[in-house]
Amino acid sequence: MFKRIKTTILCIVLFLTLFSCAHYQKNVEDMLPREGFVHLRKTLTVSSCNNDHCISMKFNSAASGFVINKQRDGAFVLTAAHFCEDSVPKSTNGASTFSTYKVRNLYGEEYNGVLLHYKQDIDVCLMFVEGLTNDIIEIEMSSSEPIPGEKVYNIGAPLSIFGPDMVPILEGRFNGNLGNRSFYSLPAAPGSSGSMIINADGELIGIVQAVYIRFNTISLSVTHEDLKNYIDVHVKKYIAYKNVMKDLGLKNIFIVPEPN
């Protein structure tokens, strides 16, 4: 009788343990919102004309980003402002510039992006990507800032390491704030700029914006407070603008204009 009770108890414990593990694995999968990631490529065309002679040069760059809001006809995307800003060599001062953006989701589908707004002092940029509706999820903003020592995750494409259904996932720690920047123990490289930093619940807490060149395991981000304020003000403003645009007959700034 005692052996039967002991065996029954062991079976119950084993069952609960297995059930708990399976449930934990599901939560781990849910907390890593890979389908919120996007890869961005920018082509900056610089043109200079002298009398009847014109010269054009093209500069390419890449960055990471993520979906912050889904709409029926596309998605709002956040990335780093220094990627969106047109920066040209001093020798080309006075020349005209024009930038185009290509945005790919996790599965390699490509769309055109439209630059809406960027804020240099906190290095955050907002874009709209028409047609980006399939196989994406929104990255939700955390209501509270991270605690120093808290474990964090980064989903981005350093050195443009990215392919269909493959994107690097990195782990690190939040170190704290210094001035108007947050510091994270996260490795990064060119191409990581604009990538999401999320907490253990898969909520947005920061954006990779810079890395120490001689110690590339320390990354800098906009603070949680400044990022939350930017989303509350600018993302919501453009969503509201988009909703009333057609009714008021306003210019559609959310689609790429046709070339002249």
List, for residues 18-40, the tens digit of each pLDDT value. Answer: 444 444 344 544 569 999 999 99
Strand partners, 66: 37, 78
pLDDT recorded at residue 242: 86
Cα 53 from chain centre: 41
Strand partners, 38: 65
Looking at the predicted structure, is the pLDDT value of residue 194 above 90? yes
Coil, strand or helix at 125: strand
Torsion, CA 76, CA 164, CA 161, CA 135, rounded to 10: 20
Looking at the predicted structure, is the pLDDT value of residue 90 above 60? no
Looking at the predicted structure, is the pLDDT value of residue 78 above 60? yes
d(CA 168, CA 110): 19
pLDDT recorded at residue 93: 57
pLDDT recorded at residue 110: 97
What's the whole-number mean pLDDT along residues 118-129? Answer: 97
Instruction: Name the pLDDT band for 91 (thresholds 50, 70, 90).
Output: low
pLDDT recorded at residue 4: 54
pTM of the predicted protein model:
0.84
Query: Any residues with CB less than 8 A from the CB of 176 and at least 6 apart, and which?
Result: 148, 182, 183
Query: In percent, how much of the chain has pLDDT > 90?
Result: 66
Strand partners, 114: 128
Helices (H), 39-120: 81-84
What's the whole-number mean pLDDT along residues 88-108? Answer: 79
pLDDT recorded at residue 148: 97
Average pLDDT, the chain: 86
pLDDT recorded at residue 97: 78
d(CA 80, CA 85): 9
What's the whole-number mean pLDDT along residues 53-77? Answer: 92
What's the whole-number mean pLDDT along residues 47-54? Answer: 73
pLDDT recorded at residue 17: 41
Burial of 147 (0-12, 13-18, 19+ CB in 10 A): exposed
Instruction: Name the pLDDT band for 7 (thresholds 50, 70, 90).
Output: low
What's the whole-number mean pLDDT along residues 248-256? Answer: 79
CA torsion through residues 93, 191, 138, 154, sign: negative
Q: What is the DSSP letter of 234?
A: I
Query: Is 34-225 in CATH node 2.40.10.120?
Result: yes
List, for residues 126-163, the tens digit of each pLDDT value. Answer: 999 999 999 999 999 999 999 999 999 999 999 999 99
Residue reference for tokens 């084993």: 14
